[in-house]
Amino acid sequence: MEKTCGWDQKTLAGGGRSVWLLLGWAVLLTSGPAGAADSNPLPDAGQTKCYDTNGTEITCPAAGQPLLGQEAQYHGAAPSYSATTNTVADNNTGLVWMKSDDGTTRTWQGAVDYCNGLDYAGQTDWRLPTRVELKSIVDYGRTNPAINPAFTCQSSSYWSATTYADYPAGAWVVYFYTGYDYWYIKTNSYYVRCVRAGL
């Protein structure tokens, strides 16, 4: 018996999203900037301006124009935080963060051990955040530091729990001066911001 391979498109209610079926696999595709907010549970990145290839600010491009699809054209949920004396709750993700670090740099293993053993703000279930979690609090509309003012933050690097897949002696950090991320050797020392699932 001969089998044929084909695509079948189904449009979902709510507009802008299609499910493509191929040999029993479903693939969700969004159709450009308007659909992106529906598929992204993380808060908006805070980028509000568009730029040309030389870094000059431009009016954000319309459909069919070059440079369409910049971060400023994607709109997720507005960042929403509830701060207490010691913590900041992210109302979009449900994560609760230490409002500030303790001013001490640690190796990666030291950071893991510190968070896992932390008794802070009446809670003991703290942990080192993943790379994705840590990047979720970056505000790309700010620099020095690139984070919402609800947090107190060094304009420096912070460890994530995520090991670098190509070189397991390294792990990902987020550099809060600008918000970029990169991997470094786990024996280096960087700041730590612990997180817990609390909302």
Q: Model pTM?
A: 0.70
User: Is there a contact between 43 and 10 (Cβ–Cβ < 8 Å)?
Assistant: no
Residue keyed to tokens 């391979």: 5
pLDDT (0 to 100) of residue 88: 97
Q: What mean pLDDT is predicted for residues 90-94?
A: 91
Instruction: Report which DSSP code applies to 72.
Output: G
pLDDT (0 to 100) of residue 73: 86
Between 13 and 134, name the one with better pLDDT. Answer: 134
Domains by residue range for the chain, with CATH:
1-31 (no CATH), 44-78 (no CATH), 81-197 (3.10.100.10)
Residue 6 exposed, middle or buried by CB count within 10 Å (0-12, 13-18, 19+): exposed
Q: What mean pLDDT is predicted for residues 36-50?
A: 62
Q: What mean pLDDT is predicted for residues 142-154?
A: 95
- Confidence check: pLDDT of 33 > 90: no
Instruction: Report which DSSP code applies to 73.
Output: G
Confidence at 77, pLDDT banded by 50, 70, 90: confident
Q: Are strands 170-175 and 181-185 parallel, antiparallel or unpaired?
A: antiparallel
> Residue 145, preceding bond cis, omega within 30 degrees?
yes
